[in-house]
Amino acid sequence: MNEVLELTELPPAETALQIYQTANGLDPYIERIRQEVTGHEPDLKTKKGRDAIASRAFKVRKIKTALDGLGKEQVDRLKEIPKLIDAERKRMRDELDALADEVRKPLTEWEEAEANRIAMHRNGLESMASQAREVGDLNSDALRLRIESVEAEVIGESWEEFEAEAHRVKAKALEILNTALAERQKHEAEQAELAELRRKQAEQEQKDREAEIARQAAEKARADAEAKAQAERDAAAKREADGKAAQAKAEQDAKDAAERQRRAEEQAEAERLASIARAEQAAEAARQAEIKRQADEKAAEEAEQRKREADIAHKASINNAALAAFIENGLPDECAKQAVILIAKGLIPAVKIQY
């Protein structure tokens, strides 16, 4: 810094911010530097002269660094100012928010107590009203318990401004519950009467079943006796009929055996003739199949030959068209022909004839 001070003075700290934020504010210092380092006759022949030139240039760069550093100090001070302002703003907000909360605290506590008081009364109203909801599936005992619960609610000054509403909710709940109880009692009485009728009907049906069982037993005993007597008569008749049937069956069996023998002989002869016919048909089918195979083979060969000839003709047509194009565009005949042959054989990379 001593070398810099020897060169020129820096802007004083108390006016540095004003100088740096003024357009061209550093011009006097720049001009003073220019006067100090210019106007010297450069001596390049001696080392001392060359060192003097380098020294003056170095001094310019030193003062540049010093002035730039001083300017940066001003910027750093300015950057600290928003932080200080923001910190003071936050402190102010926090203290005033706390003060506002402190001032409002009595009102806030009153509002919370008021909200709790109203919520307590609302919950009491809802509790009574809920007793009269969804009562359709309750029996009479459950309905009586709900009626007792609602009737036990004491409505008085403790309900404050909700007293009139509480009287209305209680009366409406009791009206709904008493109506439901009357309907349920009527329904239960009807169900009890219906159950008694079903019990008496079941008893009568049981007596009727027992009487029918006794009648069926007597009827069965009589029928069994008659069936036994009939069975004995039927057995005697069956024995006589079985004897006759056995004799007739023996005679018929003899006739059937003779008939089966005759049919077996006829069937054997028919099968022999059929076997001969099948062998002849198989031989003829094999001959016809061989004839067809040979004809199919010949037809396939002819079709393949036609396909090859058509392909050759197709490729020749395209190759001739390519040859004509080469010649038309100035390629000699032999060169054009050779080019088409090489391309057709796939010997030219990235070039192909599309057939």
* CA 123 – CA 126 distance, rounded (Å): 5
Report how far apart, in Å, the C-alpha atoms of 335 and of each of 338, 342, 349 are: 5, 10, 18
240 pLDDT band, cuts 50/70/90, is: confident
Q: Is 337 a domain residue?
A: no
* CA 137 – CA 26 distance, rounded (Å): 97
Q: Is 57 a domain residue?
A: yes
pLDDT at position 1 is: 38
Count other Cβ atoms within 10 Å, centred on residue 339: 16
pLDDT at position 324 is: 92
Q: Is the pLDDT of residue 4 over 50?
A: no
Residue 178 contacts residue 144 (beta carbons within 8 Å): no
Q: Is 21 a domain residue?
A: yes
171 pLDDT band, cuts 50/70/90, is: very high
* CA 347 – CA 352 distance, rounded (Å): 9
The per-residue pLDDT for range 172-184, each reduced to its tens digit, is: 999 999 998 899 8
Nearest of 105, 98, 6, 132 to residue 58 by alpha carbon: 6
Residue 223 DSSP SS3: helix
120 pLDDT band, cuts 50/70/90, is: very high
Q: Is 17 a domain residue?
A: yes
- Report the pLDDT averaged over residues 70-86: 86
Q: Is 230 a domain residue?
A: no
The per-residue pLDDT for range 263-309, each reduced to its tens digit, is: 888 888 888 888 888 888 988 888 898 999 999 999 999 999 999 99
Domains held by the chain: number: 1
- The DSSP letter of residue 152 is T
Domain that holds residue 31: 2-106
Q: Is 343 a domain residue?
A: no
This prediction's pTM: 0.37
* CA 38 – CA 36 distance, rounded (Å): 6
Q: Is 207 a domain residue?
A: no
Count other Cβ atoms within 10 Å, centred on residue 64: 13
Residue 327 contacts residue 333 (beta carbons within 8 Å): yes
Query: What tokens appear for 330 in the block?
Result: 């100035």
Residue 19 contacts residue 26 (beta carbons within 8 Å): yes
Q: Is 331 a domain residue?
A: no
Query: What tokens appear for 124 in the block?
Result: 């009491």
Strands (E), the chain: none
Q: Is the pLDDT of residue 3 over 50?
A: no
**Site of tokens 């806030």:** 108
